[in-house]
């Protein structure tokens, strides 16, 4: 999938548009599998929230992956994509007991992360298998916006509440078949992750009938040339050895589970936008594109970096540009970024647009959400149409006022 392929896609389908390279997704999936080859039982559950298009979910179903879901709607998407419910784990936060019960009735693995719901669910459904999410109070990444394992996180049951947790399990006689943690995104130090894993192993020893231990994910991917990333191969070597040792002491082979999202799809995604206008002020040259944070909010929300390339003029002389959108807010994708010379009508390609990009898009300013393309075996396949005006008004019910509404 080179620049000419991307340019042809914008010519045929328009812009802005998301494009996903299936070969990169497949290679990332196999890379993770290979890193943990020593483990007898490995399960990779793709985190649906990263990119929830049905065609992407179908690809993971064909690869043999499971799904990590956080809402009943994501569960339903997985089922619609052909995923067997036994291959789906449901890890919500702050949802009602009724939603959890509705998902459990579908045959999906339940993962509960607070004591109140755990006690209620265990009392009403003691035979339904339940995984328990633990908060190890460890930040494996450095950004509190995307790290969820710290002590003030709303996610998981604190390790300091294990005695209370065990009383609930004993009193309800509930069926606990898994233990889970997720420290957050952008894991930098493998030793910190391994330290958190030891906490999970210690917790797991309290339960005699486990089938799996889920270590979450949060593997960091590179966002620019030379950027640091999680060393999956080193993690695989060290954690596989430790997991095998634990299984021997536990008395049976458990399944080692992960739930990667960004690692599998981030680098596979390109976001393509057309330059509407070049605007020069006394100090800045703006390249205004036909998009905004309604389509790609991560730079504004998280301060995330996406490399931007002018694929219409890849060999041009570099200049400094601030790439901005057309939303009536400050929606800056990049400030004073070195990019090859840009002219109006050029196509800019944003890297790392596979994860948490389209899935966080909105209709702010009443703009349409863009189309999505899957690049598969050298061809571009439309997997989501660009929205139109009917999509904006669908579901709205016009209220009919009288001739004089002020009376």
Residues known to be catalytic: 328
Q: How would you classify the pairing of strands 109-112 and 308-310?
A: unpaired
Rounded-to-5 percentages of helix, strand, coil across the chain? 35, 25, 40
The first and second tokens of residue 45, run together, are 């559950």
Which residue from 176, 249, 165 is spatially nearest to 214, judged by alpha carbons? Answer: 176
Tokens of 310: 């002018």
- Closest by CA position to 273, among listed 317, 326, 203: 326
d(CA 6, CA 353): 14
CA distances from 120 to 105, 183, 197 (A): 16, 26, 28
Q: Where are the alpha helices (DSSP H) in 107-231?
A: 115-124, 162-172, 190-204
Q: How far apart are CA 183 and CA 222, in angstroms?
A: 19
Contacts (Cβ under 8 Å, ≥6 apart) of 19? 1, 6, 9, 269, 270, 271, 272, 372, 373, 374, 375, 380
Contact 361, 369 (CB under 8 A): yes
- Segment (H or E) for 111: strand 109-112
Nearest partner of 260 among 9, 15, 25, judged by Cα = 25
């Amino acid at each position: 999938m080179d620049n000419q392929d991307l340019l042809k896609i914008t010519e045929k389908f328009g812009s802005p548009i998301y494009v996903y390279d299936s070969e990169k997704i497949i290679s990332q999936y196999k890379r993770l599998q290979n890193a943990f080859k020593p483990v007898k039982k490995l399960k990779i559950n793709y985190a649906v929230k990263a990119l929830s298009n049905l065609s992407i979910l179908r690809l993971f179903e064909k690869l043999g992956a499971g799904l990590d879901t956080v809402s009943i709607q994501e569960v339903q998407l997985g089922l619609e994509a052909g995923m067997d419910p036994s291959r789906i784990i449901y890890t919500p936060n702050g949802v009602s007991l009724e939603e959890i019960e509705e998902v459990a009735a579908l045959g999906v693995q339940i993962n509960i992360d607070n004591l109140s719901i755990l006690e209620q669910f265990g009392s009403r459904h003691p035979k339904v298998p339940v995984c328990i999410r633990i908060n190890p109070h460890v930040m494996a990444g450095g950004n509190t916006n995307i790290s969820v394992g710290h002590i003030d996180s709303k996610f998981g049951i604190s390790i300091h509440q294990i005695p209370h947790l065990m009383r609930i399990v004993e009193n309800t006689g509930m069926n606990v078949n898994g233990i889970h943690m997720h420290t957050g995104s952008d894991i930098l130090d493998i030793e910190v992750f391994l330290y958190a894993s030891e906490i999970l192993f210690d917790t797991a020893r309290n339960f005699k009938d486990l089938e799996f231990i889920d270590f979450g994910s949060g593997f960091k991917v590179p966002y620019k040339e030379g950027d640091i990333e999680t060393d999956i191969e080193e993690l695989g070597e060290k954690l596989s050895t430790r997991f095998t040792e634990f299984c021997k002491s536990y008395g049976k082979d458990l399944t080692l589970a992960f739930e990667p999202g960004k690692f599998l799809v981030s680098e596979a995604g390109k976001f393509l936008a057309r330059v509407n206008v070049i605007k020069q002020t006394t100090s800045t040259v703006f390249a205004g594109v036909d998009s905004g944070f309604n389509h790609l909010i991560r730079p504004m929300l998280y301060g995330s970096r996406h490399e931007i390339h002018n694929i219409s003029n890849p060999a041009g002389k570099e200049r400094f540009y601030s790439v901005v959108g057309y939303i009536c807010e400050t929606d800056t994708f990049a400030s004073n970024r070195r990019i090859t010379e840009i002219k109006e009508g050029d196509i800019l390609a944003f890297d790392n647009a596979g994860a948490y990009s389209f899935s966080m898009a909105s209709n702010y300013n009443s703009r349409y959400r863009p189309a999505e393309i899957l690049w598969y075996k050298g061809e571009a396949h439309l997997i989501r149409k660009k929205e139109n005006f009917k999509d904006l008004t669908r579901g709205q019910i016009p209220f009919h006022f009288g001739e004089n509404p002020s009376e």
